[in-house]
Structure 1
Amino acid sequence: MSGGYTSPIPVVRTHFGHAVASEWTKIRSVRSTMWTLGVFVVLVMGVGLLTAVLVSANAGPYDLEGDNPLSYGVFGLLLGSMCVITLGVLTTASEYGTGMIRTTMVACPSRGRVLAAKALVFFAVAFAFTFVATLIVALADVALLDGAKTPTTGDWVKGTFGVSLFIALLGLLSLAVGSIVRHSAGAITIMIGLVLAPLVLALFMFTDALSGLRDFLIEYSIPNLLSTFYAETLTEAGPSAWDAVLVAVLVTGAAFGMAFALLEKRDV
């Protein structure tokens, strides 16, 4: 009696590394990644350098004294964060829109593994691009703004590594929201509202009774949290740069907890 059939194709037990390799192939092969990251780099570097050039051309010999030259990069980062938000949402939500998520889950039935792999790959890409862009802008701004103060080691760490960590976490939050909502336009709208709405709402709170809420919304708005990496805060009190990172970690962690729970309960 002959033996059973043996497939010539080797059978390999899948692991987390396979999921990471799959997500890396996806994120680098789709055109949305190239466009969003390309626009991100243009905004961060273009706006940051243009701001420094204009300030340098119009400032007097003592106007820049005491200014942190790295701070002029915040304008480009605030605009560029919209690109990171968009890419984070598309990393998850676009697969639900195209139906590709079914193929992904067949290839890797462990849903939590898929989401974790997406998060790891996206975070690495977002952090790397942000760090390189902010470092180039920081070096250029220091060279352009001769009258400004010399940044300390802490200024360099916050203005490059710290702010890159914050932007990457903001993108991770967008990825989690995309997984929860499963709709690209809806998730992007939610994230843009999260970035802009608190500060806009605070501007319309004129009464003293709402002063506490107004200060809270201003201090913990995304623009103000970004500013803490270059200055203490936009208000007299409020979070520091590393407080901003902690807030981003806690909010993103909570969003991922919800995303994991819903991913296990809902059909794809």
Structure 2
Amino acid sequence: MSTRASASRTPSVSPTASTAPAAEPPVRFADLLAAEWIKVRSLRSTPWTIALTALFVVGSSAATTLAYAVPNSGPRHNFLPFHVYPPAGYWLLMVVAASAGALALVSEYGSGLIRTTTVAVPARGSVVLAKAVVAAALWAAVGAVVATGSFYVSQAILAGKDAGVSITHPGVPRAMAASALVAPVCALIGLGLAALIRHSAATMVTAVFTLVMLPLFFSESKRWSAAVNHATPGSAWKRLVQDWAPDPENLAYTATVPGSWAVYVVWPLVAVALAVVVVRRRDV
């Protein structure tokens, strides 16, 4: 009985409120950029792809210059100082950049890693934006190096034929900028296609068709056909690297420089916006 009494006199200890688990700090966008850069850098194929692409593009510029440059003709009669890349060079650069941009997303869908990514970072839109920033920055650097290398290699050959130009020659800075930026533009287009299709082979085929084949279906003989042709990245690049003014009597069928720059801006913006929307709404 005394035990009961002592027990009754023992003050009841109120249970302490369970300590709630500390909320994890939100993932910073800089952390996402670092994570995406690690993913790209850790791929063994990345440096080899970049190196072989640069070697081929610069080599094609040198080979084309040797084949077509006319001695003592002056820079106006040699197309290469303004085009920077020959057709084989810029087609390859566009396709490789688009494929690399697509692989940044479609490879995670194929391996199932996208599930881990979305669990770690529920903000899917931020993940896509981080991928886009890393892809754009990487291929802008690659494009700048390849464009500069192609220009100086071709000019070294043309200088021996008294037909070279300097990098400050009218039209050359614009051509250099357009040639460097065509790579990140195509990389972001590939990223957008990957978000829509989510299949490696189908994404690559669609990228090749969109960037390389589509302009060939639309000539400049009619206004509507020319408008579609000029709205493609490849045609916009061609216009930006040309050092001539359009014929005032035929403006309806000739792309303008501002319009071509607009193509460079609209395509990647639309591609990234679609990628963000699609990844947010679709189940992984």
Determine whether 1:128 maps to 2:138.
no
Asked if residue 177 in structure 1 is aligned to residue 188 in structure 2, the reply is no
Q: Distance in 1 between matches of 2:282 and 2:20?
A: 37
Query: Alignment partner for residue 40 of structure 1, among 53, 59, 65?
Result: 53
Provide closer, same or farther for how the CA distance between residues 60 and 164 of structure 1 changes in structure 2, counting only shifts above 3 A. closer
How far is the alpha carbon of 1:52 from its aligned partner? 1.4
Which stretch of structure 1 is more off in the superposition, 149-158 or 124-133? Answer: 149-158
Over aligned residue pairs, what C-alpha RMSD do you find? 3.0
- Check 1:260–1:221 CA distance in 2 against 1; reply closer, same or farther (3 A cut): closer
Which amino acid is 2:67 matched to? L
- Within the candidate set 133, 150, 157, 2:165 is matched to 150
Q: Deviations over 1:14-35 (max 9, x none)?
A: 2111100100000111133234
Q: Residue in 2 aligned with 1:252?
A: 268
Q: Does 2:66 match 1:50? A: no
Q: Cα distance 1:64–1:234, how it changes in 2: closer, same or farther (>3 A)? A: same
How far 1:105 sits from its partner (Å)?
Answer: 1.0
Q: 1:240 to 1:171 in 2, by over 3 A?
A: farther
Relative to 1, partners in 2 of residues 1:157 and 1:61: Cα closer, same or farther, differing over 3 Å? closer
Match in the other structure for 1:31: 44
Mapping 1:221-236, distance limit 5 Å: 221-232=232-243
TM value normalised by structure 1:
0.84
Tell me the alpha carbon deviations over residues 90-141 of structure 1, each in whole angstroms, 9 at most, x when there is no partner: 1111110110111111121110110010000110000001101111111222
Mean CA deviation greater in 223-232 or 127-136? 223-232
Q: Does 1:113 pair with 2:120?
A: no
What is the CA–CA distance in structure 2 between the aligned matches of 1:113 and 1:49, rounded to whole Å? 42
Structure 1 unaligned blocks of 5 or more: none
* Residues 233 and 219 of structure 1: CA distance in aligned 2, closer, same or farther (over 3 Å): farther
The code of the aligned residue for 1:194 comes to T
Give the Cα–Cα distance (whole angstroms) in 2 for the partners of residues 223 and 233 of structure 1.
Answer: 18
Counterpart code for 1:61: N
Shift of the 128–233 alpha-carbon distance from structure 1 to 2, 3 Å rule, reads same
Question: Which deviations, in whole Å up to 9, do the C-alpha atoms of 1:145-197 show, x marking residues without a partner?
Answer: 13335344553322222322232112111111111211111111111111233
Point out the more displaced range, 107-116 or 35-44. Answer: 35-44
Aligned residues: 260
Instruction: Give per-residue Cα distances to partners, 1:200-229, cap 9 Å, x unaligned.
Output: 3236x9xxxx72333334433443222223
Say which SS state the counterpart of residue 171 (structure 2) adopts: helix
Deviation of 1:264 after TM superposition, in Å, equals: 1.5
Asked if 1:189 is matched to 2:202, the reply is no
Residue 200 of structure 1 aligns with which residue? Answer: 216
Correspondence for 2:227: 216
User: What is the letter of the counterpart of residue 30 of structure 2?
Assistant: G
- Note the residue ranges of structure 2 that are not aligned, 5 or more in a row: 1-14
SS at structure 2 position matched to 1:145: helix
Match of 1:85 in 2: 98
Larger-Rg structure: 2
TM-score by structure 2 length?
A: 0.79
Matches of 1:247 and 1:72, distance apart in 2 = 18
Q: Which residue of 2 aligns with 1:102?
A: 115
Is 1:266 the counterpart of 2:279? The answer is no
In 1, are the aligned partners of 2:196 and 2:278 still within 8 Å (CA)?
yes
Q: Give the match's secondary structure for 1:74.
A: coil
Quick check: 1:166 aligned with 2:179?
A: no
Change in 2 beyond 3 A, CA 1:2/1:153: farther
Q: Which of 73, 89, 99 is the equivalent residue of 2:84?
A: 73
Structure 1 residue identity aligned to 2:143: T
> What SS does structure 2 have at the residue aligned with 1:61?
coil
